[in-house]
Amino acid sequence: MKIKLLIYPLFLFAIITGCSTKNEDESEEIIPPVAEKVPQKLSGDRTDNYYWMKLTDEQKNAEQKDDQTQKVLNYLNAENDFLKTNLSHTEALQEKIYNEIIGRIKQTDESVPYKDNGYWYYNRYEEGKEYPIYCRKKGSLEAAEEILLNVNEMAKGHDYYAVTGLQISENNNLLAYAEDSVSRRRYTVYVKDLTTGKITDTPIPNTEGSVTWANDNKTFFYTRKDSTTLRSRWIVKHKLGGDPAKDLNVFDESDETFYTGIYKTKSDKYLVIWSGSTLTNDYQILNANIPDGKWQNFSTRERGLEYSIDHLQDKFYVVTNLDAQNFRLMETPESKTAKANWKEKIAHRKDTLLQGIEIFKDYMVLSERAMANNLMRVIEQKNGAQHYLNFGEQAYTVYPSTNIEFDTELLRYGYTSLTTPTSTFDYNMKTKERKLLKQQEIVGGYNPDDFQTERLWATAQDGTEVPMSIVYKKGTKKDGNNPTLLYAYGSYGSSTDPTFSITRLSLLNRGFVYAIAHIRGGQEMGRQWYEDGKMFKKKNTFTDFTDCAEFLIAEKYTNPEKLFAMGGSAGGLLMGAVVNMKPELFKGVVAKVPFVDVITTMEDTSIPLTTGEFDEWGNPKNPESYMYMLEYSPYDQVKPQNYPNMLVTTGLQDSQVQYWEPAKWVAKLRDMKTDKNTLLLRTNMETGHGGTTGRFKVYKETAQEFAFIVDLAGIKE
């Protein structure tokens, strides 16, 4: 017997029997939707049969849908129906995993308070509520609570709702914040009068989502986006009570490869406009007491010069790659900020990446990275005495937390590992004593001693040693038969650090091994690690991942019938590349919001992110770049072969990786793959790149992804 999915009006797709999936009892075939082929000629003699799936924002969001829009929406809905039918036998498992995950979350919870300008700030959650409540107390933690925003109330009536960028004016009376109820990352700024509780200014649409107050309590600056590309382009000055339509642009970042934004230095003395591309940074500064003054260039923009700045007393500190691949620390007088005046304070080290600094009156804290681990170095300003914090684990993550005060001996930092729940510490830089302020509570109990974490090193094809962080339940035998999930990202110099996860426990408790491959393209091993995983070396990212997979198999952690892979966004590109290259290594793959149509996307400068990423992937107008990208672009390299079981996800409103990339990819895979393995596409019709909002409902999608993997591993509960 064959089950035919609901065919919507205007659904112009063929239903064929050559590509089908059997349900659990193997008695019924479920026929997937197969997209109509409409050949579209593209550059380089490429033909895209599914180019018609691309819709504009106007088409997607119009109240009356035209035929083309309805055709695309029907296809996506049909794929969602196919996914639901195909995974119907896992619904009980999905519900069980979901309940496990939310059952570990402490329902009534509160963040560690921090002090700023006479108030203690924190957020808290109430039992059963999806969103945070932002609060403060004046003077002491014993004072009466003042609720700044109750996001639960604000989110009512919205399928998607996000609040970001909370900023308090210097007089403590005004709160600026931004909201997005579409998931397109186009935020509307509001100002709330904290003495009356009312919105006091005209909402400002189409912003990046945060503001920076000047010190006069009536002026703030925000970043406005290009409406088409969503690139952060303009820095705009707003006076309270003024018409946002008449706000003054104080800076226009006209270079399409750059993004821009604004912040205030920790000293509160300077406003800073930053501009940045993949390879270059640029800054302008203005005294925060004179918001109508003239902005000053920090130093001349110079391609390839990367740096960040902060201010203390009469100096600026500069973390830069100037003659220093792994960055070094410089200082310069605030009156002479050009590059020629920079003087070295901390020298470059070939084996250690300097990531950033935290400045205090008597101390400086350096965030560094070496051998795939974060390091934290404390230096006394007066005498240069220094020491490193010791954390006692092979693989971990540490980072500075909220450190607003200058004149203090206390450093607040966050710590976590694959076995240690997220923890917040205060560390006395003088006495070297540390105090645990809060550790994430796992409801129902959790014992880190039940689990084992390791740092492994796989040898890549070119002899490079690639680190992996791995965790599993103690007592797990290395007999080659353990279900294993291998995760990675590997792009933009973004490192994937080992952190604790309440969701992952649902896999570990079912006997899974979980591994993070710290592949080239991130910065886990320093800046060279990134350089060796981008542009004309991008393929190292993919081969590193398959080499890590083969290492896990060779060392008998798992086997190809039990090995699964997961990655999202640029990590989804990774998933697409490796299933084309070595599909036989994996039983199943979850590709989340995957960037898979590399050439076509990089040729379309109207798409968000494209112009700013030519130095990451290459500009297809360059023939060499074009051919190199074509060799790995997952969509272009789909071919007649067997593929693993796959679950692909996207969001209709995604501004980072447009929904049509994964949708087209799935359609092409359906047409060309030679196996009968499961291929599923899940499109969240309400959200974008980050998926669903809400403290609990976000885990519905996680539970579905885990159930997909667990079921394929032969585990039914």
For every residue of 105-163, DSSP letters joined together read B-SSEEPPPEEETTEEEEEEE-TT-SS-EEEEEESSTTSPEEEEEEHHHHTTT-SS-EE
Reply yes or no on whether 57 is catalytic. Answer: no
Options 311, 348, 518, 689, the catalytic residue = 689
Q: Which helix (H) or strand (E) holds 99?
A: helix 91-103
- Distance, in Å, from the CA atom of 664 to the CA atom of 12, rounded to the nearest integer, reads 15
CA angle 460, 462, 463 (to 5 degrees): 65
pLDDT > 90 in the chain, percent: 84
| Phi, psi (deg, nearest 5) at residue 677 | -70, 160
Q: Is the pLDDT of residue 692 over 80?
A: no
Q: Is the pLDDT of residue 246 over 70?
A: yes
For every residue of 602-621, DSSP letters joined together read HH-TTSTTSGGGHHHH--TT
pLDDT band for 14, please (50, 70, 90 cuts): very low
The neighbouring-strand residues paired with 457 are 467
Closest CA to 601 of 638, 639, 633: 633
Query: Which amino acid would we find at residue 240?
Result: L
Four-point Cα dihedral 539, 545, 548, 554, nearest 10: -90
Q: Rounded to an integer, what is the distance from CA 253 to the centroid of its chain?
A: 24
Contact status, residue 554 vs residue 503, Cβ threshold 8 Å: no
Options 423, 569, 625, 633, the catalytic residue = 569
- Distance, in Å, from the CA atom of 710 to the CA atom of 714, rounded to the nearest integer, reads 7
124 Cβ neighbours under 8 A, 6+ residues apart: 108, 109, 110, 111, 132, 133, 135
Q: What are the Cα distances from residue 302, in Å, to 76, 305, 354, 614?
A: 45, 6, 21, 17
Contact status, residue 623 vs residue 642, Cβ threshold 8 Å: no
Mean pLDDT of the chain: 92
Indicate the SS3 state at residue 419: coil
Closest CA to 548 of 488, 606, 603: 488
pLDDT band for 130, please (50, 70, 90 cuts): confident
Indicate the SS3 state at residue 92: helix
Of 9-18, 511-520, 667-676, 688-697, give the lowest mean pLDDT range. Answer: 9-18
- What does the pLDDT read at residue 28? 63
Contact status, residue 713 vs residue 587, Cβ threshold 8 Å: yes
Give me the residue label for tokens 């060309």: 672
How far separated are the first and last CA of the chain, in Å rounded?
28
For every residue of 29-57, DSSP letters joined together read EEPPPBPPP--EE-GGG-EETTGGG---H
pLDDT per residue as tens digits for the range 352-370? 999 999 999 999 999 999 9
Strands 219-225 and 645-651: unpaired
- Distance, in Å, from the CA atom of 403 to the CA atom of 412, rounded to the nearest integer, reads 6
Contact status, residue 607 vs residue 614, Cβ threshold 8 Å: no
Q: Residue 298 has which token pair?
A: 């920090």
* More confident position, 231 or 512: 512
- Distance, in Å, from the CA atom of 163 to the CA atom of 171, rounded to the nearest integer, reads 22
Q: Which helix (H) or strand (E) holds 658?
A: none
Options 48, 636, 654, 711, the catalytic residue = 654
Q: Is the pLDDT of residue 689 over 60?
A: no
Contact status, residue 173 vs residue 213, Cβ threshold 8 Å: no
Of 30-34, 374-378, 548-552, give the lowest mean pLDDT range. Answer: 30-34
Closest CA to 468 of 371, 565, 577, 361: 371
pLDDT per residue as tens digits for the range 573-609? 999 999 999 999 999 999 999 999 999 999 988 776 7
Q: Rounded to an integer, what is the distance from CA 335 to the centroid of its chain?
A: 37
| Phi, psi (deg, nearest 5) at residue 65 | -85, 135
Give the Cβ contact number of residue 56 at 10 Å: 11
Contact status, residue 659 vs residue 76, Cβ threshold 8 Å: yes
Indicate the SS3 state at residue 200: coil
Domain boundaries, the chain: 450-712
Give me the residue label for tokens 């492994």: 456
Contact status, residue 168 vs residue 159, Cβ threshold 8 Å: no
Give me the residue label for tokens 């051919």: 627
pLDDT per residue as tens digits for the range 268-297? 999 999 999 989 999 999 999 999 999 999
Strands 373-380 and 363-370: antiparallel
Q: Residue 647 has which token pair?
A: 């679950």
Indicate the SS3 state at residue 179: strand
Mean pLDDT, rounded, for 685-696: 66
- Distance, in Å, from the CA atom of 517 to the CA atom of 497, rounded to the nearest integer, reads 10
Closest CA to 7 of 39, 34, 38: 34
pLDDT > 70 in the chain, percent: 95
Q: Is the pLDDT of residue 9 over 50?
A: no
241 Cβ neighbours under 8 A, 6+ residues apart: 201
Contact status, residue 400 vs residue 411, Cβ threshold 8 Å: yes
Q: Is the pLDDT of residue 48 over 70?
A: yes
Closest CA to 534 of 621, 603, 600, 598: 598
Indicate the SS3 state at residue 272: strand
- Distance, in Å, from the CA atom of 620 to the CA atom of 628, rounded to the nearest integer, reads 9
Query: Which amino acid would we find at residue 416?
Result: T
pTM for the model: 0.90
Contact status, residue 451 vs residue 528, Cβ threshold 8 Å: no
pLDDT band for 526, please (50, 70, 90 cuts): very high
Give me the residue label for tokens 């920090």: 298
- Distance, in Å, from the CA atom of 232 to the CA atom of 167, rounded to the nearest integer, reads 19
Q: What is the CATH number of domain 450-712?
A: 3.40.50.1820
Report the interhelical angle of 660-672 vs 67-86 (nearest 10°). Answer: 60
Reply yes or no on whether 569 is catalytic. Answer: yes
Reply yes or no on whether 116 is catalytic. Answer: no
